Every structure is written in structure tokens, then in C-alpha cells.
Amino acid sequence: DPPSPPGPLSFTGTKLVNDRDHPWRPLRNGDIRGPCPGLNTLASHGYLPRDGVATPTQLINAIQEGFNFDHTAAVSATYLGHLLNGNLVTDLLSIGGKTSKTGPPPPPPAHAGGLNVHGTFEGDAGLTRADEFFGDNHSFNQTLFDKLVDFSNRFGGGFYNLTVAGELRYSRIQDSIATNPQFSFKNVRFLTAYGETVFPINLFVDGRQTERKLSLDHAASFFRDMRFPPDFHRAAQPSSAEGVAEVIAAHPWLPGGNEDGQLNNYVVDPNSADFTDPCSLHRFVLGSLQELYPSPTGVLRRNLIKNINFWYTAAFAPAGCPELFPFGQL
């Protein structure tokens, strides 16, 4: 059986995490990395398996231990990624591309394809990753990082802060509207796109520092090199999406996409999950899972039910959302 998710850390303060037990190492042949600079960094320091393939338990432990990511967010993000992109039979998720290391995938349309799969968790208008339409949705993109640097110089006095996050988020949306005919910015992606803009402020800034601003050499260390800066101490308290309301408020925006494959044709989708209804993500993802798994049986069905329950318990029960059972109950 897939085990229940691990609990919170017992010590939740700052501490040295770029320590002797977790040295950065360059990639070996076959090591997998993907679109998430947080997970890439944890794998390159051995908080996650260095090959980039991990169980939900390993992910929840690593993001808490290495970054002080808060427990609720850790469990919520992990099962979201695992349910959409993991192998639910073997309990393994690739943090990047598809690999035989996660075991044989369930029958199509299920894919167990890892975090690189576009339009599931990964999506358009990333900060330092290009849109899938342009051919590579997961690698560090120097041109986009240069834009992050430029915005940090213009709006943040040479640092990445909340003001920069608000401006860059909005500008990346406008870039995609103007250049990506397949631009999609709804449901899972609409919600994650905002969180990702504040993670660098809440989690990539050294926990001993009081000012909430990320230096550009530290930004490059995480986004490009997948490496903690020297002597890096994790956040001083459990953190995740603090400040996201300010980013949204800088340029309020609604979920949607370029319609009919046409540039500059952004149409709002009133049926998308959004921030106003905390249960909408749950409903949307369970709908996607029913498409991915039209008639699961045996271990696959049992693990779907268990993982969905782990995710619900952490992410949606506290908001009072109804528990849903698209695959029945055990």
C-alpha cells in the first residue's frame, strides 16, 4: 500500500541545509531534472534521490527538510504532482521527463510521464522556462532569466522581490498572449503560476536574512545551477505562498487562454478553477483523473483512492470542501 504522508518537521526553524551530508554534485548520465528549480536543487544535493525519481513520502520529507516548505503545502503539492504525473502503481514520480525507472505505466491515456508533461501541473508563462509551444517546457532558459534580471533591476533595485514578482508575472502572461497561439492559462496552471512567483522570495532567500528579497546571483544558483548558495540556511519558519495576494493584486487577471489557436485572442474561461472557490481545483483534478483512468482496477484503483484521500485531507478538508469518490471507496 502507499503509506500515509509523513507529518510535519519536529524542528521548524532555520538551519544550515547546504551541509556536509548534502553536497551538491553535477548530473550523472541518466539523472533527471525538470521544470521545478526547488525539486531540482533538492535532488542535486541528495535531499531527494539524485536520479530525480522519488516517492511522495521522499518528496514531502525533502521539501520540508531542505526548504522548510510548510507541511500542508508540501502534502498538497506533492499529491497534486503525483496524481497527475506519477506512476500510481509503483508509487514513483519523475521530477522531469518520462522514464522506465518509475516502472511500466498504466494503459493509455494514463502516462505516468513525470512533471514535464505539459498541461497537467507544468504549464505556460513560467518565469524561467519557455512555453511548450516553443519546444522545451522544462529546461532553464537564459533569455527568460535575463528578463527576470532586467525586471529585478527595474522594479526591485537589483533584487527579486514582491514588486518584481507582480510585474514579471503579468508581463510573462502578456508575452504568451502575443507569441504563443496555444497559450493556456487556466485550472491547475492558473493557480500554480502565482504561487511560483513567490516561492523564490519565501524559500530561496536565506533564513537568516530579514529582508524579503532575493539576490540575482542566488537566483541563478537555484534556477540555473540547481544549487544552494554557499552556507545556505533554509527559511526561518514553515513557508509557501505568503505574498501571493500582493502579486495577484498588482495586476488582477482571470483564467483563460488564446482561443482558436490565434495570437492576441485571450478569452476568459468562466468554468476554470480559480482562487475564489477553494474547492474548484479539487473538482477539476478529479475530473482529469477520470479521463486518465476511465476504468481502473486492482492495485491501481486502490492507490488512486488512497492518494486522492491523502490529497483531499491535506488540501481541501480544512476548507470544508466535500470529499468526492470518483473511483468509489475501499
What residues from 134 to 153 belong to the interface with ligand HEM (CB under 6 A)?
none
Nearer to ligand HEM, 91 or 122 (CB): 122
Q: Which long-range contacts (CB under 8 A, 24 or more apart) does 120-123 make?
A: 120/84, 120/85, 120/188, 120/288, 121/80, 121/81, 121/84, 121/85, 121/188, 121/192, 122/34, 122/35, 123/184, 123/185, 123/188, 123/189, 123/192, 123/193
Nearer to ligand HEM, 229 or 301 (CB): 229
Sole window of 29-37, 152-160, 277-285, 302-310 interacting with ligand HEM (rule: CB under 6 A) = 29-37
Q: State the number of binding residues for ligand HEM (CB under 6 A).
A: 25
CA dist 91 and 33 (Å) reads 18
Could you tell me the three cell numbers for 317? 478538508
Q: Kindly state whether residue 164 participates in binding ligand HEM, applying the rule CB under 6 A.
A: no
State the binding string over 98-127 for ligand HEM (x if CB under 6 A, else -).
Answer: -----------------x-----xxx--xx
Q: Kindly state whether residue 257 participates in binding ligand HEM, applying the rule CB under 6 A.
A: no
Q: Kindly state whether residue 84 participates in binding ligand HEM, applying the rule CB under 6 A.
A: no
Nearer to ligand HEM, 82 or 325 (CB): 82
Residue located via cell numbers 476504468: 295
Q: Kindly state whether residue 52 participates in binding ligand HEM, applying the rule CB under 6 A.
A: no
Sole window of 63-71, 159-167, 281-289, 302-310 interacting with ligand HEM (rule: CB under 6 A) = 63-71
Q: How many CB atoms lie within 10 A of CB 260?
A: 7
Q: Which residue is nearest to ligand HEM (CB)?
A: 38
CB 236 within 8 Å of CB 208: yes
Amino acid at residue number 196: E
Could you tell me the three cell numbers for 261? 489557436
Amino acid at residue number 165: A
> Cβ of residue 328: shortest distance to ligand HEM, in angstroms?
26
Residue located via cell numbers 497527475: 84
CA dist 163 and 144 (Å) reads 18
Q: Kindly state whether residue 235 participates in binding ligand HEM, applying the rule CB under 6 A.
A: no
- Please name the residue ranges forming H helices in 252-324: 280-292, 298-315
Residue located via cell numbers 525533502: 62
> Cβ of residue 93: shortest distance to ligand HEM, in angstroms?
8
Of the residues 44, 94, 102, 128, which one makes contact with ligand HEM according to CB under 6 A = 128
Of the residues 67, 190, 232, 310, which one makes contact with ligand HEM according to CB under 6 A = 67
What residues from 165 to 224 belong to the interface with ligand HEM (CB under 6 A)?
192, 196, 199-200, 203
> Cβ of residue 129: shortest distance to ligand HEM, in angstroms?
5
Nearer to ligand HEM, 146 or 301 (CB): 146
Of the residues 17, 36, 281, 289, which one makes contact with ligand HEM according to CB under 6 A = 36
Q: Kindly state whether residue 63 participates in binding ligand HEM, applying the rule CB under 6 A.
A: yes
Of the residues 17, 32, 43, 77, which one makes contact with ligand HEM according to CB under 6 A = 77
Distances (CA, A) of 188 to 247, 280, 281: 17, 10, 7
Nearer to ligand HEM, 168 or 304 (CB): 168
CA dist 173 and 32 (Å) reads 28
Distances (CA, A) of 316 to 48, 53, 121, 212: 26, 27, 18, 29
Site residues, ligand HEM (CB under 6 A): 35-39, 59, 63, 67, 69, 77-78, 81, 115, 121-123, 126-129, 192, 196, 199-200, 203
